[in-house]
Structures are given as C-alpha cells and as structure tokens.
Amino acid sequence: MSSSDRRQFIKKASVLVGVSLALGLSMATGSASAADFPTAAVSTTGLAVTDKTVTVGILHSATGTMAISETGSIQAEKLAIAQINEMGGVLGRKIEVVQEDGASDWPTFAEKSKKLLESDKVAAVFGCWTSASRKAALPVFEKDNGLLFYPTFYEGLEQSKNVFYTGQEATQQILAGLDWITKEKKAKTFYLIGSDYIWPRTSMKIARKHIEQHLGGKVVGEEYVALGDTQFGSVINKIKLKKPDVIYAAVVGGSNVAWFKQLNAAGLNSKKQTMLTISVTEDEVLGIGGENLEGFYSAMKYFQTLKNPNNDKFVAEFKKAYGENAVIGDVTQAAYLGPWLWKAAVERAGSFDVDKVVVALPGYEMTTAPEGYVKVDANHHLLSKLRIGKWRKDGQADVVYESGLINPDPFPKGYQ
C-alpha cells in the first residue's frame, strides 16, 4: 500500500469509525447515564467522583516565564473538557476542573501535584510542559498513584506507569525528519545548534548518531547557547565558515527569536540555507515574525494547516472559543488529546480507578484526533506521524511531507 493509498484508506476508515463512535456515544449518553455506573463501582480508591461529577486537574504555568508556552495547552485542555461535557461527560458524569498554576517554578509543580492528588483527589491531571516540571512532579504521581497526561514533545528516556505522553518523544520527531531532508535536499553536512539544556542536547545526540551511522552524512558543528542568550553573531559566523547543507536547530524561548532575526540579517535566509528546526511551532512564529521564518522547515507531528475533517472542526472550534487570531501549535494539539484519551480509557475500563485506566489505555486507537490516527503504545507514548512544514510569511506552514506511523521508542537502542 503506497502512502497516499494508505492515507486514503485511513481517511475513510476514520470517517467510518468517527461516525460509529459518535453513534455509540449518543447511545451511551442517551440511555446509559451515571445510573448505569454506580459510583461505588467505578471509583474504589477514594477519587473525587460523585454520582454527577468527576474532578480532574489542569496544572500548567499561568504566570512566569513559561506562561508564554503553556497558555495554549490550558486552552486546548479546557476546550476538550467542555466538548466532552457537552457530549454527556465521562460515564455519565460531568467533568469538573481544578486548575492550578505551576508559576514556572518546578517545586511548585511538585507541590501542586501533591495538592491535586492528595487534597482534591482528582481522577487525572492534564499538565506540565517543560521536562523539568515533569521530572519534579513525577515522583509525586508515582507515590500517590496519580495519572498525568503530558503534552509536550520531549527528549524521551522516561516511561512511567503513571504518565501518558501525548507528544512525541525524540526519535519520533528526529529520525524521519532527518531521513526526509537527506533525501529531499541531498544533504550531506549538518550543523547542530540548540539551547543549552537537556532536551536539545539529547535530541542532538540522537540526531548526530542517526546522521553519522545511518545516513552517511557528516556533522560539521555542534553548538549550544545559554538559555536566554540573544547574541548570535559569532555562532552565525561559525556556521558560515562551515557551510553546512542543513542547519538542524533546537533553540528555545527568547533566544529563538533572536536566532532567526539575526540569521536572516546575516544573509542566511531560506534561499541560501536549508534549515530544519524542531523547536518552532505556530506559537513561536508570533514572536519570531513570519518574514524571518519563511521557507525554513519545522518537523512536528501537527500543523494548524493540516487538511482533514477532524482538524477543520478542531481549528474552527478552537477559534470560536479563543478568537479568530488564536493559533494552534503542536503541543496545543497534543494537549487537546489528553482529556479525550482519558475519557476513552475510563470508558474502556468502566472505572475511574487509576490502576484500571492505566491498563485500559494502551492499545487504544484514536481516530478523531486533529492530527489524524494515533494509537497508544504499551510504553504509554503515542504512535504518530511526523510532518515537515514549510513556513509561510503569514505564520502558517505548508505540510510538505508526512511520514508513516512511527512507533515511539523512548529508550532508543543505539542512540544512547
């Protein structure tokens, strides 16, 4: 089956499944309701479940430096929950939300997780954005046996019974993208640049191994800039000296904006230089400016311009809820999946108990995701596709490539 056939097939299948699912759900909401699922039966561990409601938590930074990134995730999660409630909720129970602010401060994430799990007894938490905040909160989730849906693409090297990762781990985001650019652009030499912290460093390590061992290419430079540094003059000159076929970039935050502006000003625009970045989504474009990005490539699993019925509907509803100017990036979409996956798992398990939900979710195939078909792997990550987007001046990307489904591999052998 060629990839386009396959796409066709999946499209058809997804429509079918979507329809049948919707029918099934309407039946459930119409007749079943909470009475069919007595509270005593569906919640045996003291979670905040009543006959009418179930409480979940949202834990992101609404304040501090990370608020820039995490706002989209909060919006998406709330949208998904509102939609679920409109459809009748989960096991006939309306979802109530306790939202906590992590304030861009990692111990606060741990402490708020503890509050959500121990005081509020939430059935699930949708939250965390940076790896540091997840790492801080993780021991709490493991100790209190909570359930976390984590939306960000991240470096992998982690797998917990209590966490589902709805974004991509590093190999999913990196390998297919490098394969594509090597084939498409006949790239032989790569220059790797990232912010100086764990995600870029891990990603670059995987990228380097892949380039050198599997693609027969050469890494001509590897560079890390301090978080928050905004001066790229010397770095850009080094790149000019090495003349790489491709710049592979994972710069984040304020540095990212400065990086693109200064790169363009130094004459390295997309006409002269191929760049593939793994740290630019539609959210970042607002700060960088479309004119500075035009023609460069991003590797993500989701772009707002994706053409499929699920996404059209999702984008329309997101804009209806948060205004015409709202943009949706990769993480926002991944965050949107969290509540839906949880709902599906609870219904498969027929229970809110974390132990049962955790067992029920792996193997679940979701066809209604805006990004298309995804499947939950036994390792708690999602099977998903990788797309390459080429940025336009208006801040949106044209999807120029779509891979097949990629298995998540958080502990990649041969890349460590």
Partner 1 sequence: MFGYTMDEVGNIMVMQGFSGLSLFSVLLLMALGLAIIFGQMGVINMAHGEFMMVGAYTAVFMSKLAVKYEMVNSYFVFAIIAAFILAFLIGYLVEYLLIRHLYKRPLDTLLATWGLSLVMQQTFRSSFGAKEVSAELPEWLLGSFKPTADIDIPINGVFVMVLALVVTLGVYFFMFRSRGGLRVRATVQNRVMASAVGINTQKVDRLTFALGCGIAGVSGAAFTTISSTGPTTGSLYIVDSFMVVVFGGAASLMGTIASAFGIAQAQSILQFFMTSSMGKVATLMTIVIILMMRPEGLFASKVRR
Partner 2 sequence: MKELSDKLLGGRQGAVGLAILALLLFVVFPLCLDLFRLGLLGKYVTYAFVAVSLVLLWGNGGILSLGQGMFFGLGGYCMAMFLKLEASDPVSTKIQTTPGIPDFMDWNQLTELPWFWLPFKSLPLTLVLVLVVPTLLAFIIGYAMFKRRVGGVYFAIITQAIALILSILIIGQQGYTGGVNGITDLKTMLGWDIRTDSAKYILYFVNAGLLIGCMLLARYILTSKFGMLLLAMRDKEERVRFSGYDVSNFKIFIFCVAAMMSGIGGAMFTLQVGFMSPSFVGIVPSIEMVIFAAVGGRMSLIGAVYGTLLVNFGRTMFSETFPELWLFLMGGLFIAVVMFFPDGLAGIYDKYARKFNIAGVTSKYVAKFSKKAAKMIGEKYE
Where along the sequence are the contacts to partner 1 (CB under 8 A)?
64-65, 67-68, 71, 196, 222-226, 228-238, 240-241, 253-258, 261-262, 264-269, 283-284, 286-289, 291
Q: Give the sheet arrangement for strand 372-376, strand by strand.
A: 365-369, 372-376, 382-383
Residue 139 C-beta: closest distance to partner 1, Å: 28
Ordered alpha helix ranges (H), 214-353? 233-242, 253-265, 282-288, 290-293, 309-322, 330-349
Question: Does residue 196 interact with partner 2 by CB under 8 A?
Answer: yes
Decide: residue 31, CB within 10 A, 0-12 exposed, 13-18 middle, 19+ buried.
exposed
Cα pseudo-dihedral 56, 61, 62, 68, rounded to 10: -130
Residue 83 C-beta: closest distance to partner 1, Å: 24
Q: Give the sheet arrangement for strand 297-300, strand by strand.
A: 218-225, 189-195, 246-250, 274-277, 297-300, 387-391, 397-402
Complex with partner 2: residue 198 or 286, whichever CB lies closer: 198
261 binds, among partner 1, partner 2, none (CB under 5 to 8 A by kind): partner 1
Sign for the pseudo-dihedral over CA of 37, 83, 66, 249: positive
Residue 74 C-beta: closest distance to partner 2, Å: 11
Residue 207 C-beta: closest distance to partner 2, Å: 15
116 binds, among partner 1, partner 2, none (CB under 5 to 8 A by kind): none
User: Interaction with partner 2 in 220-239: which residues (CB under 8 A)?
Assistant: 224, 226-227
Exactly one of 77, 100, 223, 282 binds partner 2 (CB under 8 A); that residue is: 100
Pairing of strands 274-277, 297-300: parallel
Place of tokens 């938590």: 57
Contacts of 210 (CB under 8 A, 6+ apart): 174, 175, 178, 415
Residue 63 C-beta: closest distance to partner 2, Å: 5
Distance CA 319, CA 376 (A): 28
Amino acid letter, 78: K
Exactly one of 3, 9, 20, 107 binds partner 2 (CB under 8 A); that residue is: 107
Residue 139 C-beta: closest distance to partner 2, Å: 6
Residue 123 C-beta: closest distance to partner 1, Å: 29
355 binds, among partner 1, partner 2, none (CB under 5 to 8 A by kind): none
Residue 240 C-beta: closest distance to partner 1, Å: 6
Contacts of 117 (CB under 8 A, 6+ apart): 125, 140, 141, 144, 146
Exactly one of 34, 49, 81, 103 binds partner 2 (CB under 8 A); that residue is: 103
Place of tokens 């509102």: 82
User: Interaction with partner 2 in 125-184: which residues (CB under 8 A)?
Assistant: 130-132, 135-136, 138-139, 143, 157
185 binds, among partner 2, partner 1, none (CB under 5 to 8 A by kind): none
Is 217 within 8 Å of 188 (Cβ atoms)? yes
DSSP for 81-148 reads HHHHHHTT-BTTBEEEEEEEE-TT-HHHHHHHHHIIIIIS--S-EEE--SHHHHHHHHHHHHHHT--E
| Number of residues counted as binding partner 2 (CB under 8 A) | 35
288 binds, among partner 1, partner 2, none (CB under 5 to 8 A by kind): partner 1
Question: Does residue 411 interact with partner 2 by CB under 8 A?
Answer: yes
Question: Does residue 101 interact with partner 2 by CB under 8 A?
Answer: yes
Q: Which two tokens stand for residue 408?
A: 């998540």
The residues that touch partner 2, with contacts defined as CB under 8 A, are 62-63, 100-101, 103, 105-108, 110-111, 114-115, 118-119, 130-132, 135-136, 138-139, 143, 157, 196-198, 201-202, 205, 224, 226-227, 411, 416
